[in-house]
Chain A
């Protein structure tokens, strides 16, 4: 059990990557505050964790609301006496944000920045003092490969995720002496409910993603969960201010496979 006796707060944990992270944390021994806006789904995630013998509670949370965020951090400390790990997973983009900059409504820009940047800022701002009091902690922020390898028609999203990485590094620099580590995971394309807005024909979508990905398949949320467990655990004690790309090789370089695959003939 790699997160035994730790208490964690995971945002956006009612579905997709966040749910997978919360479940993996509980399996590794952590007590988890599952947070999100959908109480029914959140309670279902908690029920699943508890029925597998894990410890979890649900709390409704909009990460853009300062008072709600502070209350969620306080609730974690009240419930389990500590807060060791924060996972900034809640994120947003939608059909209205998928367009070039001059066509982006100002309200949509604000919405993306609010959820993807102000949210993690508020969560870290509330959590860091609690971590300092107990002698340290770990922050894991879920950014995106699009933070460092841009994509068309996503100006607000890519900017928000790039800013999240730099905020993560700032925390690493400013709170390293207090033994707080902060790292970011950069997921590639994953098979999650949030990804459903990117396609109409699922089979065609999966085939297309597979053809663009060196490892030949779309990501499974468990891969992000394992990465988060690693970065949250003491095995990563010397890792801070760093990024971990989990994308099947998508941004490592140009991928133009020959039909027959690379040659294995000897020189």
Chain B
């Protein structure tokens, strides 16, 4: 009975954290962290999903490890310790991906080892995992990872549809690729698409904040 109750409480907590991570503190569209992979791998949806899953794995594992050892790590050397933990996890990920998903490994290219310097991961280790319990840190890692992946997928969908006329991974072709704006799968389009999406999202957030303020008054 006690176990069931804890499970229920955990589920509620997880959902609440997920909502905070995805909507209120979205790492990509609200705090603008980890811009390099956000722009670099979103030229198609498959890459974005691969990157998202990799980040969820590394973020959840690093949060768990950091929160379980942070009691014994001296304050002065905590950043090098965290970086070593993250780099080890990324190396494991690289080796697994090279063996089982060689296509994804080549198309993610340099952005796979660069997960080491992803600001979100070090930021969560420093600001959340080092001060919280293991279970909460695991939840935090997964929820923030999901928020990051969803943002990547949103941006990649936008870019791939405009740039190629469809989504290759799902075999969807909305309009002919001859009529597409190839610009959007290239580097210029990455900046433009992200800028436009960030604009729309910040506009929506401002409208919602104004509505909430009016309701309170």
Do A and B pair up? The answer is: no
List residues of chain A with CB under 8 Å of any chain B CB.
Answer: none
